[in-house]
Structure 1
Amino acid sequence: MSGNDYVKFMTQEIVKYMDTPHDQRKKQKQYSKRVRNDVSDHWLGLLPFAFRLLMKKKK
């Protein structure tokens, strides 16, 4: 990927981000956080879940 292609790609992504409404971006962020947690629990078992609970209790 050349420098011009990278600048073009980044510009497109920024414009796409700015065109989406705030509440839709917020929903997408919440969804991706939920999916990421589910994937780690699925692939690694109970340990990530237990570690996350332990960290929440310390806060």
Structure 2
Amino acid sequence: MSTNAYIKYLTQQLVEYFNLTKKERKEKRLHRKEDKVQGMSHWFGIVPFALSMFIRKTIKK
């Protein structure tokens, strides 16, 4: 991507952002937060979760 195209893209994004009302910006931010995957599975997959379940199961027995 050339420098001019990048600057044009950034300008368009800023203009779109500033055209939104404060309430719309807040809602957009909240939706982005809700869509994020939380926890260790985001970084390492399901393996740490499976191991923790296995360890808890063996400790209880």
TM (norm. structure 1) is 0.62
Q: Deviation of residue 6 (structure 1)?
A: 0.5
* Structure 1: 5+ residue stretches without partners: 48-59
Partner of 2:33: 33
Partner of 2:9: 9
Q: Deviation of residue 18 (structure 1)?
A: 0.3
Counterpart of 1:27, as a letter, is E
Matched, 1:21 2:21: yes
RMSD: 2.2
Counterpart CA distance in 2 for 1:21 and 1:15 is 12
Structure holding more helix per residue = 1
* Structure 2: 5+ residue stretches without partners: 50-61
The higher radius of gyration belongs to: 2
Q: Deviation of residue 31 (structure 1)?
A: 1.1
Q: Deviation of residue 35 (structure 1)?
A: 1.2
